Amino acid sequence: MATGFFFDEKCFWHAGGNYALTLPVGDLVQPLAAGGLPESPETKRRLKNLMDVTGLTADLDVRSAAPATDTMLKRVHPADFLAKFKEVSDAGGGEIGLRTPFGKGGYEIAALSAGIATEALRAVTSGDLQNAYALSRPPGHHCLPDWPNGFCLLANIAVAIEEVQAQGLAKRVAVLDWDVHHGNGTEAIYYDRDDVLTLSLHQEHNYPLDTGDVADRGKDAGLGTNINIPLPPGAGHNTYLHAMDKIVLPALHDFKPDVIIVACGFDAGAFDPLSRMLATADTFRQMTKQVMTAADSLCDGKLLLVHEGGYSEAYVPFCGHAVIEELSGSDITAEDPMAASLTLRQPNARVEAFFATLVDEMADIFASQPG
């Protein structure tokens, strides 16, 4: 079966407000030449453009999807929140959360983004596709049921999970979030449930500042099914792979999901303006290889990657291309132009060994206190 690639040009038309990076323009904050939030369409559009130029797109089953319906959205989001979002959207746009501005029609574009993730997950869980990549925008992993934040307007992955569970296509779902920011929205939605495992591999105290701690393990029926792996700034390539080996993969094998979803942010990349993690395109390729091996063993290869963050317009396309090369098994490549220099910029052996001890300590905590 082919690898699916789900996208829609309309998602690139989502527009943010008058920000300079993440600061509202005004007082002493000057507008940037490019304007707006770092969550712009260009990183996603340039990824798709690079795939078109190399020919990788032709190796994929390219599809779009219908917007998520009210029924789908209301399984996650309260009706009054959705009504307010639609009202502000119809009136020309605005902001109803934290750093989540949108223009007229923003509600419909966000519903389309959620619909793309949902249809991609349906195609994978039904056996229509082996695996898939959903180029969703706006992103979703920070969105709480009734409060959007961090560029995220609707909880795309949660909407998708609830739909396939309602259709009986999957019962147990694992969500691995390797976006550099803590997946607080997904965590909150599933914090007291034992049918969804949430793992977040993130830069410690980046965003949000007050979530993502190792001690946050879930509650009630969900106790033990939430795992946070906060890494220090500068962690680098080998630390990410070590965390995958020591914590993520054992947790997936213990949980035995019917399908694995990756909240696939590329903002841990070395050139991202919102992080300091030194990950490379090969970091994302190797993590994809690791999670594909786990999916092959646990759930007949059923794997979906849903696009989240990543704000380096120059570098994100190479990270995304590497992931989709690996996911599809294509022999079409886009050589990372920064690979040699980023290898030299990785932490030295002593620092890397220290980071490994931090990961090992977290692994011991999770092993000794599974719930």
Catalytic residue among 77, 141, 142, 182: 142
pLDDT tens, position by position, 104-133: 999 999 999 999 999 999 999 999 999 999
Q: Determine the Cα–Cα distance for residues 217 and 192; give it in Å rounded to an integer.
A: 10
User: What angle is formed at CA 148 by the lines to CA 143 and CA 149, rounded to 5 degrees?
Assistant: 85
Active site residue 77: no
DSSP per position, 278-298: -B-HHHHHHHHHHHHHHHHHH
pLDDT band at 36 (very low <50, low <70, confident <90, very high): confident
pLDDT in tens, 288-333: 999 999 999 999 999 999 999 999 999 999 999 999 999 999 999 9
Beta strands (DSSP E) in 118-270 are: 131-134, 173-177, 196-203, 226-231, 259-264
Tokens of residue 188, six digits: 């909150």
Which pair of structure tokens corresponds to residue 287?
């993590």
Supply angle C-alpha 16, 191, 148, rounded to 5. Answer: 15
CATH code of the domain in which 8 resides: 3.40.800.20
**Residue that wins the pLDDT comparison between 70 and 38:** 70
Output the pLDDT for position 34.
65
Tell me what pLDDT residue 31 has. 74
* Tens digit of each residue's pLDDT (9 = 90 or more) over 220-260: 999 999 999 999 999 999 999 999 999 999 999 999 999 99
What pLDDT was estimated at residue 19?
82
Distance of CA 69 to the CA centre of its chain: 22
Average pLDDT of the chain to the nearest whole number = 96
Helix (H, G, I), strand (E, B) or coil at 16: coil
- How far apart (Å, rounded) are the C-alpha atoms in residues 202 and 316? 17
For residue 138, what are the domain limits? 3-368
Burial-class residue 73 by CB neighbours within 10 Å (0-12, 13-18, 19+): buried
End-to-end CA distance of the chain: 38
For residue 369, pLDDT beyond 80: no
pLDDT for residue 37? 84
CB count within 10 Å of CB 93 equals 17
Amino acid at 25: V
Could you report the per-residue pLDDT of 335-360, keeping only the tens digit for each? 999 999 999 999 999 999 999 999 99
State CA 60 to chain mean position distance: 20
Ranges assigned E (strand) in the chain = 3-6, 19-20, 23-24, 61-63, 93-94, 102-103, 131-134, 173-177, 196-203, 226-231, 259-264, 303-307
- Residue 371 has what pLDDT? 57
Nearest to 160, CA basis, from 201, 194, 111, 204: 111
pLDDT at 33 over 70: no
DSSP state letters, 19-76: EETTEESBTTBPPPSS-B-S--SHHHHHHHHHHHHHTGGGGSEEE--PPPPHHHHHTT
By the 8 A CB rule, do 129 and 172 touch? no
pTM for this model (two decimals)? 0.97
Residue 57 has pLDDT above 60, yes or no: yes
pLDDT digits (tens, 9 = 90+) for 189-228: 999 999 999 999 999 999 999 999 999 999 999 999 999 9
Give how many domains the chain has, as a whole number. Answer: 1
Is the confidence at residue 84, as pLDDT, over 70? yes
**Whole-number Å distance between alpha carbons of 342 and 171:** 41
The β-bridge partners of 177 are 200, 263
